[in-house]
Chain A
Amino acid sequence: MRRNLRHATTTIREKRERAVAEVPDWERLRDRGAAIKDATLSDLAEQLLTLEASVTRAGGTVHWARDAEEARTIVADLVQGHGSDEVIKVKSIATDEIELNAALEQRGIHVTETDLAELIVQLAGDTPSHILVPAIHKNRAEIRALFQRTLGAELDTDEPARLAEVARLYLREKFLTTRVAVSGANFAVAESGTVCVVESEGNGRMCVTLPEVLITVMGIEKVLPRWADIAPFLQLLPRSSTAERMNPYTSFWSGVTPGDGPQAFHLVLLDAGRTDVLADPVGRQTLRCIRCSACLNVCPVYERTGGHAYGSVYPGPIGAILTPQLLHLENDNANTLPWASSLCGACYDACPVKINIPEVLISLRGQVTAAKPLDVEGVAMKTAAWLFAEPHRFEGAIRLARLGQGPLVKHGAIHALPGLLGGWTGTRDLPALPPKSFRELWRDRVNGEQA
């Protein structure tokens, strides 16, 4: 698995660098993207009301969902209200976030994912491990076996082309017979009520045009004020995510058009913790995210732990800051995520909307630490701060440590430490403290000069 992931992230990382290098003013484009998002976020309530008015004017219906539960109920009610027990879906992380599929299945609504990788994940009863390539943890042989088992396909090879064909035939049938589709949205334009989905397979386009009813679930942070605001993102997004100059498929729709496409359109605006993120002056930049996954692909920690280690639909660096914020730092797993980073800063460099992920990580670490009872680490940190507060205390501590290290030192290095620090010396040596600290040597020197 790790090898699949390493290979994929390395390839895409190199391709992305080339794609980005082609744009002469990439830095300015990033600034522009960040600025548009920031301006929108600072005026979010207004923008959303404008969006609601525009969508309504265009013949669509807007629903407001405070949390995941509300969003799930709205969608399920809509599907059943339109007399259907089946939906096809466009790949969407927002619907993964609210665990929509399980909720629909529970209400007796059968769900078919139409994105190839999502379909694989769904058939395997698995969870996605990457925002953009959800089935990155599966190899061809596994996929072939899966298709044979679940779709009854006869496959004598695991050639990608053959695998794709099997999926295509299966999906074509679904497109033509299913009446309700569910999608996410990459952007929505407030002034016109236009919703936009970008994708690379074209299956999403089928979903938003063929069925009679289209239900879109969108995080409230996806709104943009004007049409013109989309342009920079259509450059930033594909280069950052798939290292392409343009997305193969970009679909736009506004409300409904009689005789063309779905005849009913519902837009579900999902809050689910986002307004609270907005209230945090450091954390709010997280909401600029356009889910391009560039940060995942450059992250050395993600590369080695994989997406499932994050226990959330948002893996990698963005997951490490978004998940704990959406969950209000109340969930134990989410609370450890801000530490899943060496703070190397590669994600910040890669992010097309310049989210300072390390900064947000540090801020969240502070919030979690301040809220929890004092533990061993806390005591150690407070002691260290106390020692550092006065140079003579610090110097005394160095002296003491020098005396204490005696039995641990072998050939000038420490090979095993007790307790919390044991993980460190499990695989690496630590240099022993030298006979004199710099300040002692400095003092010797000053005294020598005076003598």
Chain B
Amino acid sequence: MTIDLFLTCLNDALFPRTGLAMVSLLERLGHTVRFNEAQTCCGQMHFNTGYQPEALTLVRKFVHDFRDAEVIVAPSGSCVAFVRDLYPKAAEWAGDEQLLDEVRRLGERTFELSEFLVNVLGVEDVGAAYPHRVTYHPTCHAARLLRVGDAPLRLLRRVRGLQLVELPAAEQCCGFGGTFSVKNPETSTAMLADKVQHVMDTGAEVCTAGDNSCLMHIGGGLSRLQSGTGVVHLAEILASTGAAS
């Protein structure tokens, strides 16, 4: 199948490795990957911070950029949840019936990576090898808005050499929340402190998740504490064949 990559602005600018991993993983599974260079950002940051007219412009742009896509896959539960769950709200609030119709149809073919692999393609063993001790953080939007459930865990369990360790209080928010962490740094830090402690308690070498925004936050805390535990996006683990990591 031809898969349109929605890389998200954050991944494009800061985490291109995740994008490369997505490409090699999906190609290895026999699919054609497209990247429409017109894409930029889904508008989540604007919408969630209270800048809805600005967000709406980006919603329309997204609809335009991905109009021809058969399926859209993104390495971000948060941005996918935004497209699927909040685009219809944005259109509704703007009173734009035609847009509402378009975003509904778009939402039906937009997927987060793990749910796409497990629920759409029906694969759990993606032929990866990653000989490390890994713990998984279920990000809030993937878990609560997309209900990806145990899809990421199923994928991780089939990775050769990977030792999966359970994260205590896994479902608790890491405190990132986009601009929340900028506007409420103390509360956000208190939330992060618990998350980082739980990650370190697992003794994992690597904490993974389906969202680089949360990983950037958790990784930022781990790095400041010089904990020795790193963060790696799920896509990079699934793309890995164990040769180097």
**For B15, what are the chain A residues with a Cβ–Cβ distance below 8 Å?**
431, 434, 438
Q: Which of A345, A389, A420 contacts B58 (CB 8 A)?
A: A389
Q: Are B12 and A339 in contact (CB under 8 A)?
A: no
Stretch at the interface among A101-109, A157-165, A271-279, A365-373: A365-373
Question: Which residue from A305, A363, A366, A429 sits with its C-beta under 8 Å from B187?
Answer: A305
* Contact call A345/B46, Cβ cutoff below 8 A: no
State whether the Cβ of B99 lies closer than 8 Å to any Cβ in chain A. no
B20-44 CB mask vs A (1 if < 8 Å, else 0) is 1000000000000001011111010
Contact string against A for B residues 121-142, beta-carbon threshold 8 Å, 1 for contact and 0 otherwise = 0000000000000000000110
Residue pair B50, A441 in contact (C-beta under 8 Å): no
- Are A362 and B48 closer than 8 Å at their CB atoms? yes
Q: How far is the CA of A3 from the CA of B172 in the complex (A)?
A: 17
Q: Which of B111-119, B156-164, B176-184 contacts A (4 or more CB under 8 A)?
A: B176-184
CB of A227 closer than 8 Å to a CB of B: no
Contact of A366 with B191 at beta-carbon distance under 8 Å, contacts A381-B46, A394-B40, A433-B13 already known: no
Interface bits A309-353 vs B (CB < 8 Å: 1, else 0): 000000000000000000000000000001111111110110000
B180 close to A378 (CB less than 8 A): no
A344, A345, A398, A442: the one within 8 Å of B19 (CB): A442
The SS class assigned to the A binding surface is helix
Interface of B is mostly: helix
The answer to whether B144 touches A344 (Cβ under 8 A) is yes
A247 → B minimal CB distance (Å): 28
The minimal Cβ–Cβ distance linking B91 to chain A, given in whole angstroms, is 13
A366/B40 contact (C-beta < 8 A), A342-B175, A344-B140, A441-B19 known: no
Check B144 against A348 for contact (C-beta < 8 Å): yes
Given contacts A341-B177, A428-B192, contact A391 B187 (CB under 8 A): no
Known A300-B175, A384-B46, A438-B7: A398·B51 in contact at CB below 8 Å:
no
A430 within 8 A of B: yes
**Inter-subunit contact A429/B223 (CB<8 Å):** yes
Cβ-based interface call for A359 (8 A): yes
**Cβ-closest chain B residue relative to A381:** B51
B52, CB-defined interface residue at 8 Å:
yes
**Can you list 15 contacts pairing A with B, beta carbon distance less than 8 Å?**
A282-B93, A305-B187, A338-B50, A339-B184, A342-B175, A342-B176, A342-B180, A343-B178, A345-B144, A370-B52, A384-B54, A387-B40, A424-B182, A430-B220, A441-B20
Show the binding face of A for B, using Cβ within 8 Å: 282, 300-301, 304-305, 338-346, 348-349, 359, 362-363, 365-366, 368-370, 377-378, 381-382, 384-385, 387-391, 394, 398, 401, 413, 415, 420-421, 423-424, 426-431, 433-434, 436-443
